[in-house]
Structure 1
């Protein structure tokens, strides 16, 4: 196996672990309602995603678009590469679960905030009865 490809696999594994840590931190910030830090973590998540994309592009340049990563790993004799690949797969699953949890939590917080704003702000018009007995504005 290409030594540069091995380096890329281990880099990708490390970056995915960092991304998972950032998502865990985002979850904690959403729970604790720390909006200023939440904005910073969003920028950090964006940078981590860009770095992962750069690593993926480097990997595709080396491997080509025809070969799948799974086939390459299966044909490899190096057990550390196989372990790293399995670790990458499990980390990706954990990232997906954490991202979904964060998205749901953020949507719930936004829904609650919207409800509170609608409750607090006054109605725009005074409701009166029209000639047919219906409430109109």
Structure 2
């Protein structure tokens, strides 16, 4: 079981690294404001996420209801522990890159919306109501 778990962890690490590479590619497209490339990378990201989910379900079927830490402690296998730590570190890098990309996208959208609101005139003029507040 430990050997199968090692193989599964190696497959999972490879899949997460592919996802991380795609996220870094997405980051480059965000910085370059390349909307068409951003649109094209979405199916690749979905496929990478699907692969990770399949491998994760395989791993969970192997270990059952036990946690990975319990299995690592029971097996006392240094290589298994190294693979698991590597998997966690790679996953954390991917999560950080994803959050960075999301923040940049939100920032770009906020900037675009503020520029559009400055350029586009309002349909109604601002008028004070009877309470002294501006009616929009």
Class of the TM-score when normalised by the shorter of the 2 chains: 0.7 to 0.9
For these two proteins, the number of residue pairs brought into alignment is: 136
Q: Secondary structure at the match of 1:67?
A: coil
Q: 1:122 to 1:3 in 2, by over 3 A?
A: same
CA distance in 2, matches of 1:112, 1:22: 25
**1:136 positional shift:** 6.0
Are residue 92 (structure 1) and residue 99 (structure 2) matched?
no
Unaligned stretches of 5+ residues in structure 1? none
Unaligned stretches of 5+ residues in structure 2? none
Q: How does 1:70-81 map to 2 (within 5 A)?
A: 70-81=69-80
CA distance in 2, matches of 1:47, 1:70: 29
CA RMSD of aligned residues (A): 2.4
Q: How does 1:55-134 map to 2 (within 5 A)?
A: 55-64=55-64, 66-127=65-126
Are residue 30 (structure 1) and residue 30 (structure 2) matched?
yes
Q: 1:22 to 1:127 in 2, by over 3 A?
A: same
Are residue 53 (structure 1) and residue 53 (structure 2) matched?
yes
CA displacement, residues 25-49 of structure 1 (integer Å, 9 cap, x when unaligned): 1111100101111112222111111
CA distance in 2, matches of 1:71, 1:43: 36
Q: 1:6 to 1:136 in 2, by over 3 A?
A: closer
